[in-house]
Amino acid sequence: MTPLVSIDLIVSDYAGRVLVGHRRNRPALGTWFVPGGRICKNERLDAAFTRIVDAELGIAGMERSAARFGGLFEHLYKDNFAGADEISTHYVVLAYFLTLESTASVGRFDQHSRYIWLTPEALLARDDVHENTKAYFR
């Protein structure tokens, strides 16, 4: 199988806290993770970024130029979104950092059951924050 390509959103507020959601689906089920999503086949990066920001954060129309590219990451998981036995998942992730002016009602609950804001130091200290999320701050 081929890798999936995705965008992760490392969202900060003006106090420097980072938004993480508690994952309700695979992979990374039950851990705190930054918002993000897969890029669809034939979807341009700009369109994917705008769609993912809307789907994950509830912010319509945000352009990719509003964020800072943070690099390319690899996420390897032993499980998969369908829960099928013995099928792993490999993501190639484009990380984008953005700072929000307002944190009122940010986040949608399709992928995450709840959201919290953590300082990078607190995020790194927690055992329930996924290692792939921690990698953005190391």
- Look-up: residue for tokens 């924050």? 129
Q: Give residue 48's domain range.
A: 4-137
pLDDT tens per residue across span 45-63 = 999 999 999 999 999 999 9
Q: What is the pLDDT of residue 102?
A: 77
Alpha helices in the chain (DSSP H): 45-57, 120-125, 131-134
**Binding-site residue ranges for Mg(2+):** 36, 56, 111
At residue 104 the predicted structure's pLDDT band, cuts being 50, 70 and 90, is: low
Q: What is the pLDDT of residue 82?
A: 67
Instruction: Please report, rounded to a whole number, the percentage of residues in the chain having pLDDT higher than 90.
Output: 75
Q: What is the pLDDT of residue 112?
A: 80
Q: How far apart are CA 35 and CA 64, in angstroms?
A: 15
Name which of 39, 32, 49, 51 is nearest 113 in CA terms: 32
CATH code where residue 123 lies = 3.90.79.10
| Count of structural domains within the chain | 1
Q: How far apart are CA 104 and CA 10, in angstroms?
A: 17
98 Cβ contact partners less than 8 Å away, ≥ 6 residues apart: 9, 10, 11, 12, 62, 66, 67, 68
Q: How far is CA 69 from CA 22, 85, 112, in A?
A: 24, 35, 24
- What angle is formed at CA 11 by the lines to CA 56 and CA 128, rounded to 5 degrees? 85
**Binding-site residue ranges:** 36, 56, 111
Residues 78-105, mean pLDDT to the nearest whole number: 84
